[in-house]
Amino acid sequence: MAATSTSLASQLYIGLRRPCLKLDSFNSQSFSVFDPNLRLSLSPPRPSRAIVAMAGTGKFFVGGNWKCNGTKDSISKLVADLNSAKLEPDVDVVVAPPFLYIDQVKNSLTERIEISAQNSWVGKGGAFTGEISAEQLKDLGCKWVVLGHSERRHIIGENDEFIGKKAAYALSQGLGVIACIGELLEEREAGKTFDVCFQQLKAYADAVPSWDNIVIAYEPVWAIGTGKVATPQQAQEVHVAVRDWLKKNVPDEVASKTRIIYGGSVNGGNSAELAKQEDIDGFLVGGASLKGPEFATIVNSVTSKKVAA
């Protein structure tokens, strides 16, 4: 029995054993080189499509990832700001507090906004120090979990296969998954953006039983927390490619049903232009989600999509 348990644990740990970046080497300066004229190219060029409300059939989706930020007092203030904000009704809104504060937020935040966790373990809970199980998140009232974020991939060292297994287990326990993908700056400059994103998508597709409760978040790593943001055209181009990959590799209806949201230095000033893009179905917001009024502005950018339609 012990041997079987050891074997199972070894399988679960796959993906945490490779070397990962040193913490002090992972900062905004690591991604400071940016060519504003840099574009991905598709060959042959795609004909432009008329803008419609959304290429996907789901509601606009905006998530706020609070990351490792906040105190009881600051989070109380943020929750108060969110509770008083006027949010457009046809948007799914989710926030992901640090695990320590999920219960506080759940008990004080308007039911209009759902709660997400920022991570979950790859299987059932047990002797896994420091980890959080999907069962525990459900017990707290979480509806979603963010998985595959670049900070988990490139700082903690989680690989594609491991993230796919985590997504499958979270779904099996009734959590929705915000499944992150995205390329490093050097991968974009080498013309590998699509290859990287497709490889990450395949790891999810190989593991999950269904895409019904998955939102894909495209977050170019070079744009996360750096102040650099993909142009609307750059983001749209990748979102189109992701949707095309879904059409070719999973049941066809998944491509239209699955929401593909953008993340990477999204703020109140750029969200409206990004929202006008046909294949951008919402946002995953980092720093700006810590400011209640600005986060509300991003949520309400759905009105730009309606105007564009």
Catalytic residue list contains 239: no
Which helix (DSSP H) or strand (DSSP E) does residue 167 occupy? Answer: helix 160-172
222: helix, strand or coil: helix
Phi, psi of 7 (to 5 degrees): -65, -45
Taking the C-alpha atoms of residue 42 and residue 45, their distance in angstroms, rounded to an integer, is: 5
Which helix (DSSP H) or strand (DSSP E) does residue 117 occupy? Answer: strand 114-117
Enumerate the β-bridge partners of residue 217.
180, 261
In the block, which residue shows the tokens 């803008």?
51
Q: Alpha-carbon dihedral of residues 107, 283, 172, 79, nearest 10 degrees?
A: -10
Catalytically annotated residue among 158, 183, 219, 294: 219
Catalytically annotated residue among 149, 237, 239, 278: 149
In the block, which residue shows the tokens 């979950």?
120
Pairing type for strands 214-218 and 60-65 reads: unpaired
Is the torsion defined by CA of 173, 279, 113, 98 positive or negative? positive
N residues, the chain:
309
Range list of β-strands (E), 132-211 = 144-147, 176-181
Query: Would you give the DSSP letter of residue 24?
Result: G
Tell me the one-letter amino acid at 57: T
Q: Which residues of 269-286 are buried (b: 16+ CB within 10 A; e: fewer)?
A: ebbbebbbbbbbbbbbbb
Query: Would you give the DSSP letter of residue 118?
Result: S
Catalytic residue annotation: 149, 219
